[in-house]
Structure 1
Amino acid sequence: MLAKSVLNPLPATFLRGGTSKGIFLNRKHLPADTSQWPPIFLGIMGSPDPEHGRQLNGMGGGVSSLSKICVVGEPSEQLRADGIDVDYTFCQVGIRDESLDYSGNCGNLSSMVGVFAIDQRMCKPRTRVSESGHRLCTVRSYNTNTGKRIDTTFPISQGRDAFHMPHLSLPQTSIAGVPGLASRIDLDFVSPGGARTGKLLPTGNPVNTTDIIHPVPMSSEFTMRMSLVDATNPTVIVSSEDLARVLNIPQTRLPAIPYGEPSTDQVLEATRQHGAKLMGLDPSAQAQPKIVILSPAAKDDVDKADIVAHALSMGVLHKAIPMTVGLCLGVAAQIPNTLAWEVVMKSRASRGDAVTPSKGGLVKIRHPGGVVEVGAEFASDGKVKTAKVVRTGRRLMKGDVWW
């Protein structure tokens, strides 16, 4: 039974971060015993909704990018001594079932952890003035899911009581999938390699060619190449060319992969689960690892994209791209001979500028919602120092939520 001290309704903030929306909670308002969190989180989101999958009885929106919760709190003394301002735990809430997945992080919602922390006055902003004259704030957060540090930098303004407040409505930048201009939020994942497995390449290979048992509709076997990369979150990377071969789709139809059809979904889930096993992860966990299918960009791509990516989240084609997947691709594209690296080479060669992806360079990823640029900085020993992306965010509501 839940402790009587848990409020219902519960103080909460509803925020957009990048192309996701989620409920942000102050950890002090939740039971210290995390085993008591499930009924609260499920009630907030309106899960499970096995018949309709719409979460109409809660704050969820029936898709994975809208069924998320972040719990933010003050860090331990040890983390504070290491320069961390706040820590947070991300939860991917199941839609049709009661699953709560803590196995990975959300890159999009990570962009708003610092904003929420400042709004809640959990930490004092460290500020500087940018070249454009705007005052900027950087918040160092620690993600408990991955054990990694993430820094967010965003504009800040003077509040009425002399306390600085995040300023999110400057017309500075836009991101694919979200209309209009907003303040720029720089998101830096520090030392993102091995977020779950402890290794950037969990198998030690840039590409793994493996036979996979396809159990549905009848047991059969197919061969698939995959790059297994663990940066910000573990990701199974495959090529549309290989997927088309397995599905017997003529090359002339590419990249018209029939996403959402049972045969495609079954092959991709079998591949994802096999990749999870090779990475030493639980294949039954739906949120991690994710799977992404890559194609070279069109020769006449107006944005000169390097990669065309289609990612699945919780078994459903994502309308944009999970940001941790995008960041993982930004890292993978700079590791020679991974499938991401191969695709970038093909795209640039088709435009006549066969430029090898450079360490620290930006990679342009075209996804169903538009184009996103991601970057990664490598140390001299080959380890990833940071993975970087620009996001925007918006406060949507602050108040109380019933669970």
Structure 2
Amino acid sequence: MFRRLANPGTAQAGKRFLSSPPTQNPLQASFLRGGTSKGIYLHRSHLPSNQAEWTPIFLGIMGSPDPTYGRQLNGMGGGVSSLSKVCVVGPASGKHRANGVDVEYTFVQVGIRDSTVDYSGNCGNLSSMIGVYALDAAICKPSRVDSNGQTTVRSFNTNTSKIIDTSFPLSPSGVATLDRPQTEVAGVHGKASQIVLDFVDPSGARTGKLLPTGSPVNTLDMASIGRAVKASLVDATNPSVFVSYDELSEYLPLDAYFQGSQAAEEKVAPVLEEIRQAGAKAMGLDPSAKAQPKIAILSRPKGGPGDSNADIVVHALSMGVLHKAVPMTLGLCLGVAAKTEGTLAWDIVKHSGSNSSGDLVRILHPGGVVEVGAEHRADGTVASAKVVRTGRRLMVGSVYW
């Protein structure tokens, strides 16, 4: 599926390609949708061995920075955080291969208006296509195939040092089949093949602990508003800061903010960022890292359209912008938090009355409902967090940087 394509453009561009430095420009790449995100997937061997040299490559690929317009028209980015992402995938090292890992990958969140290249966390949506890309690029072979023709690819994420399994159907020739009308995900039109994303032992992805402070609820002092805010600081798949709609709506115009009011955003966004940074400090993380931890506002279902199918409602931010769906690692973290006694999420689900005793947590976000499962061991630790995604190949070819 991967072969070098003829370089488009002028003869002069062709000369540049033939005489290019070790890191090719353009680079061989795949453009894939995973869940509600899209991103560029690159083979690790095609990039410089020194990761510090990746920055101009990723910025060029995405068309960043774009401080004036924020549309990334000079690159593959789409002007929103869920479309400004890169995954670098390579074969598993000997140490990980001995533990059954097939591939290793690094996720990169690329800034839009600025030159941020952030390695602080993982992306659940794009993680769902790591196995598919690895087979397409011949990084690994389908070694685990069940009687239904379903294969599982085990990956190691370098951002969080966690193992993630992706399971999806194969064709008789061993190629990932993504167009079976098996399931659909909120925010994406139509049905496609089911991809099961399983984060193994997801607790402590960045901090080493499910509850980095040891408490399910913390009180954060906010200088800008002169009061304290309650927050649950949870680290599963990615660290997240969860706050309560009921508390914040007492003094912030949250409903108008959710509806896209610019005036409300000017009031709400700075406060949420201050809370996020305070949460990061309490978790022992770098508060200046924009991608992690993320922050989300939690509320009870109010009985409106779609609420009857939900246990909890979430409005999440990504890179400081209100997300149109929910970042999948944050959704998985919320699913774990909802099963962790004492957290704000646990309290909401406990009193929602819809599915509080079930194995799955139904999360309502602006794009619809997503079901997240979390398995706990006998000692109460989290064994895995699972979610169903879909994906699609959009392009295989060469990308300029």
Superposed pair shares fold, TM > 0.5 = yes
Percent of counterpart pairs with the same letter?
62
| Aligned with 1:60 (options 64, 68, 77) | 77
**Match of 1:78?**
95
- Residue 249 of structure 1 deviates from its aligned partner by 7.3
d(CA) in 2 for partners of 1:210 and 1:106? 27
**Match of 2:129?**
112
- Residue 117 of structure 1 deviates from its aligned partner by 0.2
**Match of 1:175?**
185
What is the letter of the counterpart of residue 385 of structure 1?
A
Inter-CA distance 9–248: structure 2 relative to 1 (3 Å threshold)? closer
Inter-CA distance 309–258: structure 2 relative to 1 (3 Å threshold)? farther
Moved more, 241-250 or 224-233: 241-250
SS of 2:89 mapped into structure 1: strand
| Aligned with 1:100 (options 103, 107, 117) | 117
| Aligned with 2:282 (options 246, 265, 278) | 278
- Do the aligned residues in 1 keep the contact of 2:309 with 2:369 (CA within 8 Å)? no
d(CA) in 2 for partners of 1:21 and 1:178? 11
- Do the aligned residues in 2 keep the contact of 1:244 with 1:257 (CA within 8 Å)? no
**Match of 2:164?**
150
- Do the aligned residues in 2 keep the contact of 1:28 with 1:73 (CA within 8 Å)? yes
Inter-CA distance 212–176: structure 2 relative to 1 (3 Å threshold)? same
**Corresponding position: 1:311 with 2:310:** no
SS of 1:165 mapped into structure 2: coil
d(CA) in 2 for partners of 1:137 and 1:122? 15
**Match of 2:202?**
192
- 1:251-330 aligned at under 5 Å gives the runs 261-299=265-303, 302=306, 303-330=308-335
- 1:224-243 aligned at under 5 Å gives the runs 224-243=229-248
Inter-CA distance 221–122: structure 2 relative to 1 (3 Å threshold)? same
| Aligned with 1:202 (options 205, 212, 230) | 212
SS of 2:395 mapped into structure 1: strand
Inter-CA distance 255–394: structure 2 relative to 1 (3 Å threshold)? closer
d(CA) in 2 for partners of 1:254 and 1:69? 29
**Match of 1:14?**
31
d(CA) in 2 for partners of 1:378 and 1:206? 17
d(CA) in 1 for partners of 2:254 and 2:122? 34
- Which structure 1 residue ranges, 5 or more long, are not aligned? 215-219
d(CA) in 2 for partners of 1:248 and 1:90? 34
After superposition, the C-alpha distances for 1:164-223 in whole angstroms (9 at most, x for unaligned) are 100000000000000001000000000000000000000111111232112xxxxx4221
- Residue 126 of structure 1 deviates from its aligned partner by 2.4
d(CA) in 2 for partners of 1:26 and 1:136? 24
- Do the aligned residues in 1 keep the contact of 2:144 with 2:153 (CA within 8 Å)? no
d(CA) in 1 for partners of 2:68 and 2:260? 28
After superposition, the C-alpha distances for 1:196-253 in whole angstroms (9 at most, x for unaligned) are 0000000111111232112xxxxx4221110000000000000111111232779xx9
What is the letter of the counterpart of residue 337 of structure 1?
G
What is the letter of the counterpart of residue 6 of structure 1?
T
d(CA) in 1 for partners of 2:142 and 2:254? 54
d(CA) in 1 for partners of 2:351 and 2:44? 47
Moved more, 294-303 or 231-240: 294-303
- Residue 4 of structure 1 deviates from its aligned partner by 2.0
d(CA) in 1 for partners of 2:144 and 2:152? 7
What is the letter of the counterpart of residue 137 of structure 1?
T
SS of 1:59 mapped into structure 2: coil
- Residue 122 of structure 1 deviates from its aligned partner by 1.0
SS of 2:276 mapped into structure 1: helix
Inter-CA distance 247–167: structure 2 relative to 1 (3 Å threshold)? same
d(CA) in 1 for partners of 2:79 and 2:182? 31
SS of 1:329 mapped into structure 2: helix
d(CA) in 1 for partners of 2:88 and 2:261? 37
Moved more, 227-236 or 202-211: 202-211
SS of 2:251 mapped into structure 1: helix
Inter-CA distance 402–180: structure 2 relative to 1 (3 Å threshold)? same
d(CA) in 2 for partners of 1:341 and 1:233? 18
- Do the aligned residues in 2 keep the contact of 1:73 with 1:87 (CA within 8 Å)? yes
d(CA) in 2 for partners of 1:157 and 1:371? 30
Moved more, 296-305 or 24-33: 296-305
SS of 2:170 mapped into structure 1: strand
- Which structure 2 residue ranges, 5 or more long, are not aligned? 1-19
- Do the aligned residues in 1 keep the contact of 2:217 with 2:343 (CA within 8 Å)? yes
d(CA) in 1 for partners of 2:40 and 2:111? 14
After superposition, the C-alpha distances for 1:114-157 in whole angstroms (9 at most, x for unaligned) are 00000011111024345xxx410100000000000000000001
- 1:333-348 aligned at under 5 Å gives the runs 333-348=338-353
Please report the TM-score for the alignment, with normalisation by the length of structure 2. Answer: 0.91
**Match of 2:67?**
50
- Residue 299 of structure 1 deviates from its aligned partner by 3.1
Inter-CA distance 51–248: structure 2 relative to 1 (3 Å threshold)? closer
- Do the aligned residues in 1 keep the contact of 2:373 with 2:386 (CA within 8 Å)? yes
**Corresponding position: 1:38 with 2:55:** yes
d(CA) in 1 for partners of 2:259 and 2:379? 40
Please report the TM-score for the alignment, with normalisation by the length of structure 1. Answer: 0.91
- Do the aligned residues in 2 keep the contact of 1:189 with 1:387 (CA within 8 Å)? yes
What is the letter of the counterpart of residue 344 of structure 2?
L
d(CA) in 2 for partners of 1:297 and 1:324? 21
**Match of 2:8?**
none
Inter-CA distance 55–294: structure 2 relative to 1 (3 Å threshold)? same
SS of 2:169 mapped into structure 1: strand
d(CA) in 1 for partners of 2:351 and 2:129? 35
Inter-CA distance 304–109: structure 2 relative to 1 (3 Å threshold)? same
What is the letter of the counterpart of residue 59 of structure 2?
L
d(CA) in 2 for partners of 1:115 and 1:98? 29
Count the aligned residue pairs: 380
d(CA) in 2 for partners of 1:257 and 1:50? 21
